[in-house]
Chain A
């Protein structure tokens, strides 16, 4: 079946360091991917998305990398700040499917 999984449920980094959050997916039919950030008591916040015809996309302090060969997605956050502490979810949309499939989430903690 389809799954979107994360390699690490928790990640702690020092303030100012770069963070990398990973996500594995198993369905080669997925053609669109999104990263969401969810802070405590809030709904998921859209961070960045990428289509399957791309392998890299950059935003402000964030970069998403897509490796279709190994079905792997990652979110890189540069120069992490305390406000980056949250749970990060990847989600995939399979071509022709009717819903996003969310991964289990990674909790990112920024240490001062």
Chain B
């Protein structure tokens, strides 16, 4: 199994809603990542979990809250988002937290109304 699975694939939410994005991998990888990608732009790193501990927060606003319940799961909790937060949110994993051979999921396309 070489997949990173993300749900949902599409999400539309209002600025007062609370929602969560989910990511799962069963490759035994110990590092998991959240990236944000705007249209026609490269992915931008948001968070890194290494061995289930948050190791990097790229100065992401607190309306985005990551959670890593175990080594296979990664969540991103969303609250009080702004329309400019609309983007493709990508989850990735790698064997260790050394940024080598990241495997990406297909992403969640988020629209904030």
Question: Is A45 a contact partner of B48 (Cβ separation < 8 A)?
Answer: no
Contact B104 A99 (CB under 8 A): no
Is A61 interfacial (CB-CB < 8 Å)?
A: no
Q: Is the CB of B42 within 8 A of A98?
A: no
A49-B42 in contact given A41-B106, A43-B90, A43-B106 (Cβ < 8 Å): no
Chain B: interface secondary structure? loop
Q: How large is the interface on B (under 10, 10 to 19, 20 to 34, 35 or more residues)?
A: 20 to 34
With A93-B99, A99-B99 already in contact, the answer to whether A104 and B42 are too (CB < 8 A) is yes
Question: A77-112 interface mask toward B, CB cutoff 8 Å, 1 = contact, 0 = none?
Answer: 000000000000100010001111011110000000
Instruction: Mark A residues whose CB is within 8 Å of B.
Output: 32, 34, 36, 41-46, 49, 89, 93, 97-100, 102-105
